[in-house]
Structure formats: C-alpha cells, structure tokens
Structure 1
Amino acid sequence: MIVLAFFLLTKPQLRHQPPPKNFRSEVIEMLRLNNQQASHFNELADEHKQKMEEINKRQARLLFPYFESLTNSVDSIGKDSILNKYQQLEMEKIEMTYQHFQDIEKSLNKEQLSDFKYFIKKATNKLLLSKKKHSPPPKDFD
C-alpha cells in the first residue's frame, strides 16, 4: 500500500498543453472571419471535403483493377483508359480546390482581402508540402 501511494504521489505531473489548432480554426483566425463568415467558411470547407473524398474514392476504384492487371496476362482492362480517367479526376480536384479558394475570397470584406495572399500561401503549403503519416506495411507483408 505504501509503495502504491509512493508511486501515485511522486508521479511526474503532465503539463497541460492546449490542443493543437485545426487548420479551419487557423484560417478563421488568419482571415479574421466574423461569426457569419466563419459559419459560411465551415459550410464551404465541409462541401469541399466531401467532394474531395468522393473523387478520392473514385480514383481508388480505378486503381484496383489497374494494379490487379499485373496478375493477369490479358490486358482487357484498358490500362491507358484507367490512367486517363484517373488524371481527369485529379484535374477535377485541382479545379474544385481553385474554385473553393475563390469562394472563400468572395466572402471576405476589403479589410480581410489583405490576408488572403497569406492564407493561399499557408493553404497551398499544407496541401502540397505536408506529409500525411502513413503506418508502415504489416510485418507479414513480405
């Protein structure tokens, strides 16, 4: 009992750190959005996220047969056609994101427009340079 009390009482205290901000919160702060603008921004962001997820799913559905063709000797799936469709979907994502940024810009007032350039820089860096953490392949993957 005394040993347990010792460990409980001498346990190092964890410092309370604020949770990391999500990017939406950063944008709302960065662009100094009022409540109405923030609500509209969140709607735009939700819609954009949903569209991107749908396109990502469509791209994944295209890639399964493409890579499975490695195990088939017959090229009946039209690999070139699959790659073209995949590229078309990637182009849609780029165009939708561009439009999304334009929609955000349209919702800003004159004072906020000066912050838009910085927002674009941060957003494109996040989109293009951030590396998503992927877990390593399973140990029995060999």
Structure 2
Amino acid sequence: MSKKGFYKLVILTLVALNIAIVAFFLTKLKPQDKASVKNIRSEILEILHLNKEQAATFNKLADEHKQQMRVLDAQQAKLLYPYFESLADSSIHIEKDSILHQIQLSERQKIELTHRHFEKIKKLLNEDQKPYFKIFTKKITQKLIEK
C-alpha cells in the first residue's frame, strides 16, 4: 500500500470514529435517564408551583436548552477525541494548547447557556412564585455539580 493510500485509510478511519463519537453523545441518554429527566422536570414544576401555561413554556425552554447543550457536547467530543488519541498514536499531531482553549470555551458556553436558561425560567415566575426560585437553583445546582 502506498503512503497516500495509507493516509487516506487513516483519515477515513478517524472521520468514522469522530462520527461514532458524536452519535454516541447524541444518543447517550438511556431509557432510565429519560425517565429521570421527566422526574426532574416534574420536581421543578412542583418546586416552582408553575401553572399549566408556565409549565408548557418551561418544558419548551427545557427542550431548547437540552438541544443546545447536545450541540455543545458534540462539538466538545470532536475536540476531546484527537486530544486523547494523540497519546496512543504519535502520527497524530495536534495543537494541545489550542484544543484545551477550545474545550475551555465550550465549557464556558455551557455554563453561560445554563445561566441564561435559569434567567428565562425566573422571568416566567409570578411574584408569589419567586421565593421558590432560590430552592430551585440550590437543588438544580447541586444536581449539576454531582453530574
């Protein structure tokens, strides 16, 4: 096999592995995880004492947030694979500092996205519901930290 053919094979293999990693992250929720998400949402609706209209808006916001986080997770997966694969394969040359910086930016985007999501939830609340927001943030922040 020529060098050119070898490199084509390596590139195709790496592309296939990247696609597999992205697919894994996009489908990583198991059935029990989906049930857990439903339970968390129900718990949030109870904690915040949301009415039906607020609950519908909340669920829409939560779905949007979940989709945006999946996109960021997939982008991050594309960065993590070559970073760690370069340990096992010395022919893979990467800019480690650049990749680490991009991963940091991705984490920052996820944190900022979640913060904006919480702000949107807070705006949903009536004055009599606002005291429950502190309980919500404490509980959800704890779940995020344990994740």
What is aligned with 1:106? 123
Shift of 1:70: 1.0
Equivalent AA in structure 1 for residue 86 of structure 2: S
Equivalent AA in structure 2 for residue 105 of structure 1: K
Q: 1:26 aligns with which of 43, 50, 53?
A: 43
Give CA deviations for 1:61-100 in whole Å, capped at 9, x if unaligned: 1111111111333573111111100110000000000000
Q: Which has the higher helix share?
A: 2
Q: Which runs of 4+ in 1 moved over 2 A?
A: 71-76
How far apart in 1 are the matches of 2:62 and 2:100? 28
TM-score with structure 1 setting the length: 0.74
What is aligned with 1:81? 98
How far apart in 2 are the matches of 1:75 and 1:54? 25
How far apart in 2 are the matches of 1:32 and 1:72? 54
**1:55 has 2:54 as partner:** no
| 1:33-48 alignment, distance < 5 Å | 33-48=50-65
What is aligned with 1:116? 133
Shift of 1:129: 1.9
How far apart in 2 are the matches of 1:73 and 1:113? 55
TM-score with structure 2 setting the length: 0.72
How far apart in 2 are the matches of 1:46 and 1:83? 29
- Provide the secondary structure at the position in 1 that maps to 2:90: coil
Q: RMSD across aligned C-alpha pairs, in angstroms?
A: 1.7
Equivalent AA in structure 2 for residue 112 of structure 1: Q
CA contact 2:82–2:92 (8 Å) conserved in 1 = no
Structure 1 unpaired stretches of 5+: 1-18, 131-142
Greater Rg by CA: 1
How far apart in 1 are the matches of 2:137 and 2:110? 16
**1:91 has 2:140 as partner:** no
Q: How many residues align?
A: 112
How far apart in 1 are the matches of 2:84 and 2:139? 35
Give the fraction of aligned pairs with identical amino acids, expressed as a percent: 53
What is aligned with 2:88? 71
